[in-house]
């Protein structure tokens, strides 16, 4: 008998071998003779090992739909709540007659910058677009009040109307005038406010005598930061003349001209420094001497000529600075005008 014949006989004998008498483990179900083989009956610990292969009628493998639905619903609610809170924090409330942050804005964390501008939503009218505006007064030496140790300034509010064609403007002032008072001064002078600006969703002004940046909240004025002169190590308030907002920072600038005597003799470059204030109140001191020299050169002014600045703005759209000098001369500086700055 050949080897192949012996192997074939062994295989035939294996097929005709009677069922094993070994007891089946718990959970094992014996296949019937005509039952199809497409259902894999593998179980571990009495539970199906591969659910996709288990019988759909197997009571041991039923999805717990109620807990699954409850968990999914809870996750959906949490997600919607998170989105709502995130959008709520970024939303801004406008009040056409308000100059302070709304109640929702006061909840905004100090860790986030508030880019709301303008504070009041422009109104569309048949005559054109109506903007809420405000102006502040620099009363110079007249800012001292009759009240003891009190200095004051005026703020006026109104509306600026720009026609539909854009070629006409008109101003309407509110009947009331806001009086702002402070008890802070330097050498008997204070509250000589130079500028108004919206920064971090709030209204600010700056005193050109003390170097104090004030926050204006309704008819209250609250000191925020104090800016020392020059590089920040000078024991004198910074003579601030302009405010501008750039890259979530408040830029505070001075005259942009070297400090001189009344006869034009050089003293220092302190007015040519610029203060960069973060929305949390941190202050950096930047030397702008080269920048101010570039401005003079662009205007065709060389020493001993000068430019005096009291207005500057940064354009986010054009990514450029714009300056409107108060005074320009190609001659040596002389303090002749009554309102020229004095030390």
Going by the annotation, the residues of the binding site for Ca(2+) are: 194-195, 241, 310
Of the candidates 188, 187, 206, 186, the one whose C-alpha atom is nearest the C-alpha of residue 196 is 206
Q: Which residue has the tokens 């006409």?
A: 168
Q: In whole angstroms, give the CA distance from residue 242 to residue 254.
A: 6
Q: In whole angstroms, give the CA distance from residue 217 to residue 224.
A: 12
Q: In whole angstroms, give the CA distance from residue 144 to residue 48.
A: 90
Q: In whole angstroms, give the CA distance from residue 79 to residue 83.
A: 6
Q: Which residues pair with 183 in a beta bridge?
A: none
3-class DSSP assignment, residue 339 = coil
The tokens for 189 are 């002078």
**Contacts for 223 with CB less than 8 Å, ≥ 6 apart:** 182, 184, 212, 213, 214
**Contacts for 343 with CB less than 8 Å, ≥ 6 apart:** 259, 267
The tokens for 184 are 């802070």
Environment class of residue 115 by beta-carbon count within 10 Å: exposed (0-12), middle (13-18) or buried (19+)? middle
Please report, in range form, the residues annotated as the binding site: 194-195, 241, 310
């Amino acid at each position: 008998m050949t080897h192949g014949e012996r192997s074939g006989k062994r295989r035939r004998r294996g097929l005709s071998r009677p069922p094993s008498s070994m007891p089946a483990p718990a959970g094992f179900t014996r296949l019937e003779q005509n039952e199809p083989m497409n259902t894999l009956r593998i179980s571990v610990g009495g539970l199906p090992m591969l659910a996709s292969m288990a019988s759909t009628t197997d009571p041991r493998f039923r999805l717990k739909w109620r807990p699954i639905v409850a968990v999914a619903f809870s996750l959906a609610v949490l997600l919607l709540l998170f989105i709502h809170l995130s959008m709520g924090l970024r939303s801004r409330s406008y009040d056409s007659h308000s100059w302070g942050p709304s109640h929702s804005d006061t909840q905004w964390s100090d860790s986030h910058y508030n880019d709301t501008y303008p504070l009041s939503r422009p109104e569309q009218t048949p005559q054109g677009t109506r903007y809420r505006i405000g102006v502040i007064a620099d009363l110079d030496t007249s800012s001292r009040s009759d009240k003891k140790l009190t200095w004051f300034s005026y703020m006026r509010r109104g509306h600026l109307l720009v026609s539909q064609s854009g070629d006409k403007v008109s101003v309407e002032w509110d009947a009331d005038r806001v009086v702002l008072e402070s008890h802070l001064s330097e050498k008997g002078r204070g509250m000589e406010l130079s500028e108004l600006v919206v920064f971090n969703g709030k209204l600010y002004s700056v005193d050109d005598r003390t170097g104090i940046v004030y926050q204006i909240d309704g008819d209250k004025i609250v000191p925020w930061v104090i800016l020392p002169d020059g590089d920040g190590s000078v024991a004198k308030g910074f003579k601030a003349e302009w405010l501008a907002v750039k890259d979530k920072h408040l830029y505070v600038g001075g005259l942009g001209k070297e400090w001189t005597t009344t006869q034009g003799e050089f003293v220092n470059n302190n007015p040519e420094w610029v203060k960069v204030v973060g929305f949390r109140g941190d202050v950096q001191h930047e030397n702008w001497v080269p920048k101010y020299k570039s401005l003079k050169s662009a205007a065709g002014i060389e020493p001993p000529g000068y430019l005096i600045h009291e207005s500057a703005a940064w354009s986010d759209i054009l990514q450029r600075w714009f300056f409107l000098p108060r005074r320009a001369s190609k001659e040596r500086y002389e303090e002749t005008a009554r309102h020229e700055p004095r030390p």
